[in-house]
Amino acid sequence: MRTLTSLLGHEVETESGRRIGRCHDLRGEIRGSRLVVTGLVVGIRGVAEHFGLGGRGSKPTHVPWDAVVKIDGERFVVRDGTELE
Amino acid sequence: MNKIFSLALGILAAIGGFVDIGDLVFNVSAGATFGYQLLWVVVIGVVGIITYSEMCGRVAAVSGKAVFDVVRERMGFRVGLFALISAQVVNLMTLTAEVGGVAICLQLLVGLPYRWLIVIAGIALAIVVWVTSFDWIERIFGYGGLCLLVFAVAAFKLHPVWGAVGHGFVPHLDTKSPLLYAYFTVGLLGAAMTPYEVYFYSSGVVEEQWGPKDLGLNKANAIIGYALGGFLSFALMIVGGSLFLDKGLEPGFLGSIALGTEVPLGQIGLLLGIVGILFAVGGAAIDTLFSGAYNMAQFLGWEWGRYRHPSGAPRFTLTWIVLLVLALGAVLTGVDPVQLTEYAVIFSAVALPLTYIPILLVANDRTYMREYRNGRVANTVGLIYVAVIMVIAVSAIPLMILTNVGQN
Amino acid sequence: MTDTLDLGLNVLDHQLLDRDERRCGKVDDLALEGGPGEELVVTAILSGPDVWRRRSRFLGRLAAWIGRGGRHRVPWEEVEMVGPHVQLKRAAKELGLGAGDDRLRPFFERIPGSDR
């Protein structure tokens, strides 16, 4: 079992080692009676969003869950070529 | 008509309820030390408490979240728990000082031994809280606290030099002890913006189930109530300045604060002054008592509420009982309430950022606040006060040490 | 409220309300299942002093010790709605929540005036 608090704060890097930022939150979607994770909230604007200050402008803050290749210790590794959306 | 009437009642209660032992001690001793020089600080403090109490009331009305719900959601468990513990320590110190203040007033009125009166004060508070409905508690202590208006009359009767009073509203530094000046500035701001006021107020808004339609009432309450409370603070400082400055007297005892009304108004003035202090401090004791229980329950997710009967919110009830017992025990050790008040106000200044920053954050949250979120004015003023609060929080304890708790 | 939400911001540390609007704990953590390459799904709300241990090293453990352990797992299917608070479908008692208040209630009920 994973817990939310054990996933928050991890670094997010691509497979070739490029750092994208830190994961401040997990974005989810309620589908019927299920709550499915759709992405990682990352970066400076991600911090703002984590404190509830987002919503303005459309700067990218999030990495889709599909791009995550593995969770390696305290690190999310995402596919090469992944950018914030 | 009924609404205006209830607003008026609320405001009357707020005037009596604004002033607590911290305001009494700091305003009168600031007057005794610096005359009218620090009146401008009260204005800054009052605008600060108006801003944040309106904000936390609005958050509570729109989202149903009270202050410690918000602290935990925004600051997380770790920082939130730290905030809770510091708030509880400060709260308990304040409660202890207020209970001691009640006992001192009773002693001045009836003359029984102080220790007996502490126990009587404690039992009386417990009974009042247990059997009286909250509307009545607010009315009794609010209206009783209105006797403090006698200080306003006294301020006039003492014929202060009005030019000097007016000059006090303009920030200026005319003293050989700037450190002491800074210490009193911090203390006056801390006393005016005491965090328990927002804990108590926001929880009340949730309990009364206010919604967006009550936001006008919320704003009126904050502005009028605190502005008039600030007016009482002016009066206290003017009395302190007219009576004690240059006489080498220090109002180190609660009874000498009441002297401020005896000199110009005689026995009646003294009586009204003491009764006013008794109710103001007693009401504040109940507010702090409940604030401690609110904070605990909101942080941990327990059922809470003063309108629920005690068995409807058992852990909340147990918390305030424990707090009252601890405070009584502390007063019985013989600690000086006035001295303790100074420490409580200074430490509360340190805890201010952890209370006010989360409120400012949530007040900007689109998801919960929708069209009722902060506008530009509230945010600008709110941010200025965050800066003010940070400066106070960092400097409060060094200043306390450097000035030997305002002694030199 | 939209059906997109941030777990840390909109769910974690929020108030739990049962079917009867009774406050019955906080969302102290969320349990998730799945991982990279597959779906990651929230399976349960974790609540209770035992969960605090992982939230803060020193103070959390101290608080957990004072709170005498206890950890409740509420399956995500029991969630009625996520709004300003997290509303559950059933009564707190059926979900094992709010037991601290329930244990204490009989003591207060014996004191006159406790049900005014």
Q: Which two tokens stand for residue B106?
A: 């009773």
Torsion over CA: A41, A44, A45, A50 (sign): positive
Q: ipTM score of the complex?
A: 0.94
Region B304-331: what's the mean pLDDT? 90
Region B214-233: what's the mean pLDDT? 90
The pLDDT score that the predictor gives to residue C115 is 65
The pLDDT score that the predictor gives to residue B2 is 61
pLDDT surpassing 60 at residue A37: yes
Q: Does A55 touch chain B (CB under 8 A)?
A: yes
Closest chain C residue to A38, measured at CA: C40
Region C32-41: what's the mean pLDDT? 94
What residues of C are in contact with residue A29 (Cβ under 8 Å)?
A: 3-5
The pLDDT score that the predictor gives to residue A58 is 52
Residues 48-67 on A with a CB inside 8 Å of C are 49-52, 65
Region C53-74: what's the mean pLDDT? 83
Region B73-79: what's the mean pLDDT? 93
The pLDDT score that the predictor gives to residue A47 is 74
User: What is the pLDDT of chain B when averaged over all its residues?
Assistant: 90
C65: distance to nearest CA of chain B, Å?
A: 14
Region B153-170: what's the mean pLDDT? 94
Percent of chain B with pLDDT over 70: 94
When CB atoms are compared, the residue of B78, B311, B368 closest to C105 is B311
The pLDDT score that the predictor gives to residue C1 is 45
When CB atoms are compared, the residue of C3, C29, C41 closest to A3 is C29
The pLDDT score that the predictor gives to residue B256 is 82
The pLDDT score that the predictor gives to residue B17 is 65
- Do A4 and C7 make contact, defined as CB atoms within 8 angstroms? yes
Global pTM? Answer: 0.93
| pLDDT band of B255, cuts 50, 70, 90 | confident
Report how far residue B384's alpha carbon sits from residue B391's, in angstroms, rounded to the nearest whole number: 11
Cα of B44 vs its chain's centroid, Å: 15
Cα–Cα distances (Å) from B272 to B231, B276, C50, C100, in that order, read 18, 6, 53, 46
The pLDDT score that the predictor gives to residue A85 is 72
The pLDDT score that the predictor gives to residue B311 is 79
What residues of C are in contact with residue A24 (Cβ under 8 Å)?
A: 8
- H/E stretch holding B21: helix B21-34
* pLDDT per position as a tens digit, B328-372: 999 999 999 999 999 999 999 988 999 999 999 999 998 899 999
Q: How many CB atoms lie within 10 A of CB B248?
A: 7
For residue C18, the SS3 value is: coil
**Choice between C64 and B164, residue whose per-residue pLDDT is larger:** B164
Closest chain C residue to A35, measured at CA: C42
When CB atoms are compared, the residue of C15, C55, C104 closest to B77 is C55
Instruction: Mutate one of C68, C104, C109 to test the B interface: name it (highest B CB count within 10 A).
Output: C104
Region B106-112: what's the mean pLDDT? 91
Q: Does C76 touch chain A (CB under 8 A)?
A: yes
B216 exposure class (CB count in 10 Å sphere: 0-12, 13-18, 19+)? exposed
Report how far residue B239's alpha carbon sits from residue B28's, in angstroms, rounded to the nearest whole number: 7
When CB atoms are compared, the residue of A26, A30, A70 closest to C3 is A30
* pLDDT per position as a tens digit, B274-304: 999 999 999 999 999 999 999 999 999 999 9
**Choice between B342 and A57, residue whose per-residue pLDDT is larger:** B342
| Closest C-alpha among B174, B121, B75 to residue B285 | B121
Asked whether B142 and B12 are in contact (CB, 8 A), the reply is yes
* pLDDT per position as a tens digit, C12-22: 999 999 999 99
A65: distance to nearest CA of chain C, Å?
A: 8
Q: How many CB atoms lie within 10 A of CB A46?
A: 26
Neighbouring chains of C at 3+ CB pairs within 8 Å?
Answer: A, B
Closest chain B residue to A53, measured at CA: B365
Region A54-59: what's the mean pLDDT? 56
Instruction: Mutate one of A5, A24, A51 to test the B interface: name it (highest B CB count within 10 A).
Output: A51
Q: Does B367 touch chain A (CB under 8 A)?
A: yes
When CB atoms are compared, the residue of C13, C47, C98 closest to B77 is C13
Q: Does B371 touch chain A (CB under 8 A)?
A: no
B127: distance to nearest CA of chain C, Å?
A: 10
The dihedral over CA atoms of A49, A51, A56, A60, expressed in degrees to the nearest 10, equals -20
Neighbouring chains of A at 3+ CB pairs within 8 Å?
Answer: B, C
Report how far residue B14's alpha carbon sits from residue B214's, in angstroms, rounded to the nearest whole number: 17
What residues of C are in contact with residue A1 (Cβ under 8 Å)?
A: 31-33, 43
* pLDDT per position as a tens digit, B6-23: 666 666 666 666 788 999
pLDDT surpassing 60 at residue B80: yes
What residues of C are in contact with residue B318 (Cβ under 8 Å)?
A: 104
For residue A20, the SS3 value is: strand
pLDDT surpassing 60 at residue A78: yes
| pLDDT band of C2, cuts 50, 70, 90 | low
What residues of A are in contact with residue C54 (Cβ under 8 Å)?
A: 3, 5-6
Strands A11-14 and C15-17: unpaired
Task: Supply φ then ψ for residue B400, to 5 degrees.
Answer: -65, -40
